[in-house]
Amino acid sequence: MTDDPEVLIRVEKNVGRITLNRPKALHALTLGMCETMIGALLDWQDDPEVYMVLIDHTGERGFCAGGDIRMLADSGAKDGVEARRFFHTEYQLNHLLFTYETPVVAVMDGIVMGGGVGISMPAHIRIATERTTFAMPETGIGLFPDVGGGWYLPRLPGKAGLWLALTGARIKGADCMRLGIATHFVEFGAVEGLKKAIIADPRRIEETLRKYRADAGKASLLGFEQDLNRLFVGESVEEIFEFLTLDSSDWGKAQLEVMKTKSPQTLKVAFEQLKRGAAMEDFADNMAMEYRIGSRVVMKHDFIEGVRAVIVDKDNAPRWSPARVEDVTDAALAEIFAPLPPGEEWTPLT
Domains of the chain: 7-337 (3.90.226.10)
| Cβ–Cβ under 8 Å, residues 168 and 238 | no
Query: Nearest to residue 129, comparing CAs of 233, 206, 215?
Result: 215
- Tell me the average pLDDT across 26-51: 97
Q: Do 330 and 169 form a contact (C-beta atoms < 8 A)?
A: no
% of the chain residues with pLDDT over 70 = 99
**207-234: pLDDT as tens digits:** 999 999 999 999 999 999 999 999 999 8
Quickly list DSSP for 94-159.
HHHHHT--S-EEEEE-BEEETHHHHHHTTSSEEEE-TT-EEE--GGGTT----TTHHHHGGGSSTT
Please answer whether residues 115 and 64 qualify as being in contact, where contact means their C-beta atoms are separated by less than 8 angstroms.
yes
- Positions marked catalytic: 67, 115, 138, 146
Residue 198 pLDDT exceeds 60: yes
| pLDDT tens per residue, range 131-164 | 999 999 999 999 999 999 999 999 999 999 999 9
110 falls in which pLDDT band (50, 70, 90)? very high
172 forms beta bridges with: 133
**How many angstroms separate the CA atoms of 338 and 320, rounded?**
22
**CA dihedral of 163, 169, 175, 179, whole degrees rounded to 10:** 30
pLDDT tens digits, one per residue of 80-109: 999 999 999 999 999 999 999 999 999 999
- Could you tell me whether strands 171-172 and 133-135 are parallel, antiparallel, or unpaired per DSSP bridges? antiparallel
pLDDT by residue (tens digit) across 312-349? 999 999 999 999 999 999 999 999 999 999 899 999 99
Give per-residue pLDDT as tens, 301-314. 999 999 999 999 99
Residue 175 in this model has a pLDDT that exceeds 80: yes
pLDDT recorded at residue 60: 83
Give φ, ψ of 87 to 5 degrees: -55, -45
d(CA 203, CA 213): 17
Tell me what pLDDT residue 32 has. Answer: 97
Cα–Cα nearest to 130, from 186, 191, 184:
186
Query: What confidence score (pLDDT) does residue 102 get?
Result: 97
Reported pTM: 0.97
1 pLDDT tier (thresholds 50, 70, 90): very low
Model confidence at 30: pLDDT above 50:
yes
What are 255-312's pLDDT values in tens digits?
999 999 999 999 999 999 999 999 999 999 999 999 999 999 999 999 999 999 999 9
pLDDT higher than 90, residue 113:
yes
State the pLDDT at residue 118. Answer: 98
Percent of the chain at pLDDT > 90 equals: 96
Contacts of range 278-283, beta carbons closer than 8 Å, 24 or more positions apart: 278/154, 278/155, 280/150, 280/151, 283/95, 283/98, 283/99, 283/148, 283/151
Let me know: does 269 contact 275? Beta carbons within 8 Å: no
Whether residue 145 is preceded by a cis peptide bond, meaning omega within 30 degrees of 0, is: no
Q: What is the mean pLDDT of the chain?
A: 96
Q: Residue 134 region, left (φ>0) first, then alpha (ψ -120 to 50), else beta?
A: beta
DSSP string covering 86-109: HHHHHHHHHHHHHT--S-EEEEE-
